[in-house]
Structure 1
Amino acid sequence: MMKVGIIFGGPSREREISFAGGRTVYDNLDKALFEAVPVFVDSLGNFILLDWQYIYKGTVRDFYPPVEALPESEHGLQIYMESLGELSIEEQDRIIAKAGKRLLPYEFKNHFDFAFLALHGPYGEDGSIQGLLEWYHIPYSGSGILPSAIGIDKVVQKELLKQHGFPTPDYRTIQHAAWADKQNREQLFNRLVEELGLPLVLKAPHQGSSIGVSIIKEKDFAAFEAGVDRSFFTKTIYKSQWQAMGEEKQVMSMKQLVDIREGIGMPVVLEDGKIIYHPEELLNHINETFNGSGTDTITLTNVEHEQQILVESFIQGKEFSCIVVQDENGKPLALPPTEIVKGSEVFDYRSKYLPGLSRKITPINLPTEQIQDIRKACSKLFQDFGFNVYARLDGFITEGGEIFLNDPNTTSGMLPSSFFFHQAAEIGLNPSQFLTYIIRTSVAERLKSGKYTVKLTRLLQQLDSSIKEQQAHRHDKERVGVIMGGYSSERHISVESGRNIYEKLSSSTKYEPLPIFLTGNNEEHQLHTIPINIMLKDNADDIKEKIQHFEHGGKPHPVLAQIIQEAEGITRKYTGRSLQEPQRISYAQLKNLVDAVFIALHGRPGEDGALQEELEKLYIPYNGSGIRSSQITINKYETNEILAKHGVPVAKHAMAFKEDWLQDKEAFFRKIETDFNYPFIAKPADDGCSSAVKKIKNRAELEAFAKLIFREMEELDTECARTLSLGFKEEFPNKAGFLVETLISKNGAKHFLEITGGLLTRYAPDGTVSYEVFEASEALAEGEVLSLEEKFLAGEGQNITPARYAADPVRRQQISDKVKQDLERVAKILNIEGYARIDAFVRVLENDEVETIIIEVNSLPGMTPATCIFHQTAINGYKPYDFIDRILQYGMERTKMKGVE
């Protein structure tokens, strides 16, 4: 079996996306063909053979540097390794030993046969790591040294595009030294506007993920100056603005400033050349300087700032991204280009990586001829720039049909929702198969260099015979229907969960997953089997739209049909089958298609017992709790009532109904205000995923909340949305009632934290159910309540696992054990089965008593790649696949015990 070292993390500003992408590769490599070896690169460039459980942390900062190595931070500012200052090799080794084992490059060959590069940006995409691996005779994925060096430098690319006859927007560069002369800045701005016109696009030439990109639409010098500083990773702080903020806003501002994606990052150099490493030290320096001296400004520059930035004229047109791969004969094959429909001007970090914020339309919505023109241009660029294996090419097409290619990337983001997998699915490859294709093509490509050819030829032959062998045994696996989608405001997160379950099962040696999309309404569920290309559409609404297209007699897009034909050699080799169309099925037909079902739905239907009822009628095994338990836990009010009757602490709660609101609004509001003091929490009683959970601070917010949740039409009232500070594209369900709860506060406790705890059940030999409760995660919210991003976006939000109940490890464990007992008691009262997630607040009182106040119970918790339940299971030795396997096994045993094979 080939050992694949996945190299991820790294020193670049895109390390969080690289970390999440490395996890995707680690989980999706076909377990019948490869052994995955995680090699984490820290921000100082150390290679670490990572202990596997850390892969399932939410962000790099959640485990590295480890908590023990962190200096005291009064304001809880999170840091990366580079903020620890100049460390000796011994000090670095001590830190590394907490996360794994240091690997020196000459030792690579003892641990892996092939390097899969999931690194981004400088050091990862620029030829550096590629050169290092060639030196040590390790074959690696993607392009070689020269194309990588071209692919990272946007200024060099501009010249090459011109030389090869590709149209490219007019551009200029600004040198860092010239920008330092503040006298000439305004003159420079006027000249650029005159020569390039407005809007101007500012770019940091060596960054990806839209880091350091700004668009200047108007002749606004202040915006231009701020944008250029952003691209240079420099920031001027003004005394008057800083001191007007107040301490809380200063700390928030500091968090943004030191963020490696949105801000300038750390360490920073001051104008006098002094380097500051830690954000806490920087905060103190700013306050001391402004309080003590007559200085009105402080200019900070990141120690790794760009030496020049790129200024381009703006292209008005449709934006697209196209993955180009090499076919079996080494020729470029452009996959269907995807159109990016954004909510804002810049396709930024959030809209790239959070499902549902921007839309990806594949293929781009254009006449066939123009789509083919884009594909031809991308294939030509791939060839002209000497790219290998795969690349991602971005560009614009104007109304007149002119194609502008920019930012060719020799690697691509590898999150489950990225273009990389999205477009490969259009030729029928699931993520696991596409990764196999990338590895096999990369080995063949390295062979062309004429170096270490005997070793590479042998590696290729072994891989080819393993792929053949695997195809022959595909039918021996257990079939699992993964049901995703639904019709609630949680449908997009459900699709993310479902895809993650599908991907974990499809790379296993045991299961053959079948994706099933559920839509319809409470009266009638509609089930459809869907092929991989539809499952990997952007979100639940896109999937539904595609199903309807086929139901109404629609055919595959002619361009897709042609690409599928062109890619037939690849598809047949790696999948052994062709793409199917979606099929409507009944529950009875489902029974013939699968051995078990994994319900990846959230909220209704799915967590309410309705689906479980249909499956039990046909004795189809499923995951999670049974019918009655699901009917209770879907309703937060009923759950609270039952727990309170059993003496379990819950928030004071009441339902507020639409009929009372319609009858007399003033009386409705007054009753709530009499029973609950502001601020309190308002939320739907039967939705999860942070959907419409709001901290209500005054009457205006309460009126806005009621008006939105009780509205008659689909659209949201903009004034109410503004009052509640709803985010872009934030959904707000429509209900006949909502739940009001007291805001649970510290209440004099010496320690107070919000936690989320997972659990798993199994059958004991005597047939009783036993519970395994995991170490809970401590959830840290940036805002008033945990946001969707903090729960589900890789690199966002922070979950500390295990929760920090106390500084002393022995005392921490005692508190943890008590909390686990409390959570197990809740699970038993509610008769929870399979697995679940329970959210709670924990108070540690002055007398050391521990109080666990339950917020809600999720009988089918989110199973997205970034969710913290996987951090918890990892501590108990389960990789995500093992956890999912246990959940399915429990469901199958339960059905057997009911007497039907």
Structure 2
Amino acid sequence: MKVGIIFGGPSREREISFAGGRTVYDNLDKALFEAVPVFVDSLGNFILLDWQYIYKGTIRDFYPPVEALPETEHGLQIYMESLGELSIAEQDAIIAKAGKRLMPHEFKQHFEFAFLALHGPYGEDGSIQGLLEWYHIPYSGSGILPSAIGIDKAAQKEMLKQHGFPAPDYSTIQYSDWSDKTKRGRIFEQLVEKLGLPLVLKAPHQGSSIGVSIIKENDFALFEAGVERSFFTKTIQKSQWLALGEEQQVASMRQLVDIREGIGMPVLLQDGTILYHPEELLKHINETFSKPDTDSITLTNIEHEQQILVEAFIKGKEFSCIVVQDESGKALALPPTEIVKGSEVFDYRSKYLPGLSRKITPINLPTEQIQEIRQACSKLYKNFGFNVYARLDGFITESGEIFLNDPNTTSGMLPSSFFFHQAAEIGLNPSQFLTYIIRTSVAERLKSGKDTVKLTRLLQQLDGAIRDEQAHRQDKVRVGVIMGGYSSERHISVESGRNIYEKLSSSTKYEPLPIFLTGSNESHRLYTIPVNIMLKDNADDIKEKIQYFEQGGKPHPVLAQIIEEAESITRKYTGRSLQEPQRITYAQLKNLVDAVFIALHGRPGEDGALQTELEKLHIPYNGSGIRSSRITINKYETNEILAKHGVPVAKHQMAFKEDWLNDKEAFFQSIEAEFLYPFIAKPADDGCSSAVKKIKNRRELEAFSTLMFRELEELDTECARTLSLGFKEEFPNKGGFLVETLISRNGAKHFLEVTGGLLTKYGADGTVDYEVFEASEALAEGEVLSLEEKFLAGEGQNITPARYAADPERRQKISDKVKEDLRRVAQILQIEGYARIDAFVRILENDEVETIIIEVNSLPGMTPATCIFHQTAINGYKPYDFINRILQFGIERNRMKVMQ
């Protein structure tokens, strides 16, 4: 069946929709479906997207294409709407760089079913559903009416009350009333009087917690700022703006034009002028404030909300519950998940970056109350007329009162989303759950009485294909995917491992088995884990769940009941029941798998220890061999070897805890004698940007050393503040750290940071050949690339291929030289399988190229948003193809060793 995945769109959630569309594209079962990517740009154009663009980190990485972008002095990122009023011909020229424009009447020529991964207005409000119904194309999820209800938070409140559901007291603020500044103080007083404090402010047509604020204090200024946030307007005070330096003004502008955290673009000025580009806006602000008679500027997004919702605050546990329907049409509430937040609002970052919040499934409550939540969710699903699936959020108070709010007809579809997290609790992996969604949606569209012959045939064909696939499962190659570990990189390792598992589980060739590694350098502990434990929120949650079962714990009674209720769904799509985690030895691993994919980062995994155990038993694995892994794990040793071979690296030195303990002043002076501030300090054997800091003065060096050499697990709060550590940012505890000179432009005419991937294969003579990909240009907003910029969908920006020069011929010539430098590094270090090499590139006046190596990752991150997939796409490899090549190399290497 050809499935058109419709994703992107005009809404503020377009980046999550883009990442969700990629998840669906990759996870559709390849034995059953052919995925057709249909990207919707922010002007509403449908584009049959060239598949390689799906693997870009963000929409802005490829659309609008670089050649369509105007010059930007400050590197401000833009979407299509910031190009101004474009003619159809101009839009077509831009679209042609990314794919082919699709008109709705042409949909049928390309796909038989539409999988909707759009969010917010136009995607969840009935618009796209109505369009598809008009053109007789079955689609996923709810129909027109429930979608229209699901998008409007204010309308939902009235319906909740009509159906007898408790709802917090609420009110609305009309934009027309708020525009009259004389009324604002009274509006605040009336709301506090009616609803009390805290107040919850919401943009009624947005999801992903965009435009949400909680006002705890009787503070009008905070209230005014929160209301502006929900309306997507912003008042900038002249005194505050001028107090910022130029760098801070640009940073403030980035935040202001961000579609999630700020108001976005284009903006409407008070005189009715529309400004499209952030540079245009920055210039306007500075020009306006250079005049003596202006104290403030008010900016309003051209698609601002007309009213906002204000609710009384509910104190209680927050939860989210996916409700699905079985083949008889009966609603089945999956186990509600409790959201344990690190901040007051379960915001965009907390929702989508692993490790920032915790999801506890089922919610930590007595069984009776969990069942009450499930019953309430099923009732709302039925009363609101939802179909196929929905995500219902809510709170339960200490007294047991349940408040449901914000029903969503389309859930976020990132690998860590509730959507997959809860489906796993009945034993469905993401690929199987998507098959369930498509099959149930076709059956649901059939109930409308339209196109019954066509839809009946489609359903029969799909059911036959599902049965046929179940019968051939045992023919696949078994791959153990090892994830987790015990380093500060364990959460990213789980993300990588899940991504590998999901790519393999939707293939026709492989049957993946998730394996979690924990323990210590002295003793590895391996566990086979079922899909519901693999999809826990992060590595610590997985470990906790394993320990629970090891100590004799039994499945939660609510989960046991739901599994029983869902038995008809699970049997149809998986043909098996959920197992408990089992500890295994390496010898037992050999009997369970034909090969291993190591998805670990840092130690263990990249240090040769795991490879040693696997080689003893002749188990094929991915990546470099023992010797190369032992070298590349150590950044100091890697630098030393490369320097001896004449490869440019940063000046470097190890700083040891022993010296610090002996004489702190002498320790600091010895570093300062060799390195001028600012310099880089980082662990020698951790990756993923873990504790990589730009040290600008003695105070920061003292803080870094104190944290790195601490005796206790807890971080000293003053030191953490000095280093500006982010919320829940981990900091490893080591016996030494690496100090490096800060690599700078140093007179080069062009200077950029790149990350380049490579893949190996055996030549005819048995030697290793290297395929080096086009490197990505990494753009950091802060001092160093952050965890979010590397791994969170929609964050950061990687331009692939890197922009070495404007002229295509010159750019390629420089790129070829950089690739040759990276190939030489790989050969010196005897890298095998695949790797990622990070470097700085200086391009001198005569186009001479200097490639300074930063680090080498022998098992690079394989999360969905990582840029190695952007690079492989240019060479024609989809992620699955790339992973397949990596595994095939490992299997071939093992076969050659056994033959020797």
Q: TM-score range by the shorter chain?
A: over 0.9
CA distances 1:699-725 after superposition (whole Å, capped 9, x unpaired): 010001000000001100101101100
Contact 1:324–1:392 (8 Å) recurs in 2: yes
1:291 Cα deviation after fit: 1.0
User: What is the aligned partner in structure 2 of residue 540 from structure 1?
Assistant: 539
d(CA) in 1 for partners of 2:8 and 2:898? Answer: 50
Are residues 1:229 and 2:218 paired? no
Are residues 1:501 and 2:477 paired? no
CA distances 1:368-422 after superposition (whole Å, capped 9, x unpaired): 0000000000000000000000000000000000000000000100000000000
Q: How does 1:663-682 map to 2 (within 5 A)?
A: 663-682=662-681
1:560 Cα deviation after fit: 0.3
CA distances 1:443-466 after superposition (whole Å, capped 9, x unpaired): 000000000110000000000000
d(CA) in 2 for partners of 1:728 and 1:86? Answer: 40
**When the two structures are aligned, how many residues end up with a matched partner?**
900
Letter in 1 for 2:536: K
Q: How does 1:873-892 map to 2 (within 5 A)?
A: 873-892=872-891
CA distances 1:21-61 after superposition (whole Å, capped 9, x unpaired): 00000000000000000000000000000000000000001
1:405 alignment partner, SS class? strand
1:847 Cα deviation after fit: 2.6
CA distances 1:161-204 after superposition (whole Å, capped 9, x unpaired): 00000000000000000000101111110110011000000000
1:7 alignment partner, SS class? strand
d(CA) in 1 for partners of 2:629 and 2:896? Answer: 20
Q: How does 1:107-186 map to 2 (within 5 A)?
A: 107-186=106-185
Q: How does 1:344-743 map to 2 (within 5 A)?
A: 344-743=343-742
d(CA) in 2 for partners of 1:515 and 1:390? Answer: 27
2:687 alignment partner, SS class? coil
d(CA) in 2 for partners of 1:880 and 1:366? Answer: 41
- Structure 2: gaps (5+ residues): none
1:136 Cα deviation after fit: 0.2
1:325 Cα deviation after fit: 0.2
d(CA) in 2 for partners of 1:662 and 1:311? Answer: 56
1:292 Cα deviation after fit: 3.0
d(CA) in 1 for partners of 2:488 and 2:786? Answer: 14
1:900 Cα deviation after fit: 4.9
User: What is the aligned partner in structure 2 of residue 298 from structure 1?
Assistant: 297
User: What is the aligned partner in structure 2 of residue 199 from structure 1?
Assistant: 198
d(CA) in 2 for partners of 1:692 and 1:126? Answer: 43
Contact 2:708–2:731 (8 Å) recurs in 1: yes
User: What is the aligned partner in structure 1 of residue 105 from structure 2?
Assistant: 106
d(CA) in 2 for partners of 1:246 and 1:539? Answer: 39
Contact 1:619–1:900 (8 Å) recurs in 2: no
d(CA) in 2 for partners of 1:367 and 1:702? Answer: 49
User: What is the aligned partner in structure 2 of residue 72 from structure 1?
Assistant: 71
Q: Identity percentage over the alignment? A: 88
**Cα RMSD (Å) of the superposition?**
0.6
CA distances 1:485-518 after superposition (whole Å, capped 9, x unpaired): 0010100000000000000000000000000000
Runs (4 or more) in structure 1 with deviation over 4 Å come to none
d(CA) in 2 for partners of 1:358 and 1:412? Answer: 18
1:533 Cα deviation after fit: 0.2
d(CA) in 2 for partners of 1:53 and 1:471? Answer: 31
d(CA) in 2 for partners of 1:394 and 1:239? Answer: 40
2:777 alignment partner, SS class? strand
User: What is the aligned partner in structure 1 of residue 825 from structure 2?
Assistant: 826
2:380 alignment partner, SS class? helix
Letter in 2 for 1:247: E
User: What is the aligned partner in structure 2 of residue 801 from structure 1?
Assistant: 800
d(CA) in 2 for partners of 1:241 and 1:634? Answer: 47
User: What is the aligned partner in structure 1 of residue 744 from structure 2?
Assistant: 745
User: What is the aligned partner in structure 1 of residue 898 from structure 2?
Assistant: 899
d(CA) in 2 for partners of 1:202 and 1:417? Answer: 27
d(CA) in 2 for partners of 1:866 and 1:120? Answer: 19
1:543 Cα deviation after fit: 0.3
2:449 alignment partner, SS class? coil
Letter in 1 for 2:187: L
1:292 alignment partner, SS class? coil
Q: How does 1:90-101 map to 2 (within 5 A)?
A: 90-101=89-100
1:293 Cα deviation after fit: 5.1
Contact 1:489–1:691 (8 Å) recurs in 2: yes
d(CA) in 2 for partners of 1:889 and 1:270? Answer: 59
- Structure 1: gaps (5+ residues): none
User: What is the aligned partner in structure 2 of residue 864 from structure 1?
Assistant: 863
d(CA) in 1 for partners of 2:86 and 2:743? Answer: 42
TM-score (norm 1): 1.00
Contact 2:268–2:275 (8 Å) recurs in 1: yes
2:898 alignment partner, SS class? coil
1:443 alignment partner, SS class? helix
d(CA) in 2 for partners of 1:705 and 1:295? Answer: 45
d(CA) in 2 for partners of 1:107 and 1:34? Answer: 20
d(CA) in 2 for partners of 1:149 and 1:284? Answer: 40
CA distances 1:314-369 after superposition (whole Å, capped 9, x unpaired): 00000000000001110100000000000000000000000000000000000000
User: What is the aligned partner in structure 1 of residue 263 from structure 2?
Assistant: 264
1:559 alignment partner, SS class? helix
User: What is the aligned partner in structure 2 of residue 336 from structure 1?
Assistant: 335
User: What is the aligned partner in structure 1 of residue 811 from structure 2?
Assistant: 812
1:899 Cα deviation after fit: 2.4
User: What is the aligned partner in structure 1 of residue 31 from structure 2?
Assistant: 32
d(CA) in 2 for partners of 1:402 and 1:488? Answer: 41
Contact 2:390–2:409 (8 Å) recurs in 1: yes
1:458 alignment partner, SS class? helix
1:772 alignment partner, SS class? strand
d(CA) in 1 for partners of 2:63 and 2:844? Answer: 31
1:237 Cα deviation after fit: 1.1
1:771 Cα deviation after fit: 0.1
CA distances 1:817-874 after superposition (whole Å, capped 9, x unpaired): 0000000000000000000000000000123210000000000000000000000000
User: What is the aligned partner in structure 2 of residue 59 from structure 1?
Assistant: 58
d(CA) in 1 for partners of 2:893 and 2:533? Answer: 32
d(CA) in 2 for partners of 1:523 and 1:275? Answer: 64
d(CA) in 2 for partners of 1:741 and 1:717? Answer: 24
1:898 alignment partner, SS class? helix
d(CA) in 1 for partners of 2:741 and 2:724? Answer: 21
1:899 alignment partner, SS class? helix
Letter in 2 for 1:381: L
Contact 2:618–2:898 (8 Å) recurs in 1: no
Letter in 1 for 2:349: R
Letter in 2 for 1:424: A
User: What is the aligned partner in structure 2 of residue 246 from structure 1?
Assistant: 245
Contact 2:776–2:867 (8 Å) recurs in 1: yes
Are residues 1:48 and 2:47 paired? yes
Letter in 2 for 1:509: T
Contact 2:814–2:847 (8 Å) recurs in 1: no
2:4 alignment partner, SS class? strand
Letter in 2 for 1:531: P
d(CA) in 1 for partners of 2:794 and 2:394? Answer: 26
Letter in 2 for 1:291: S
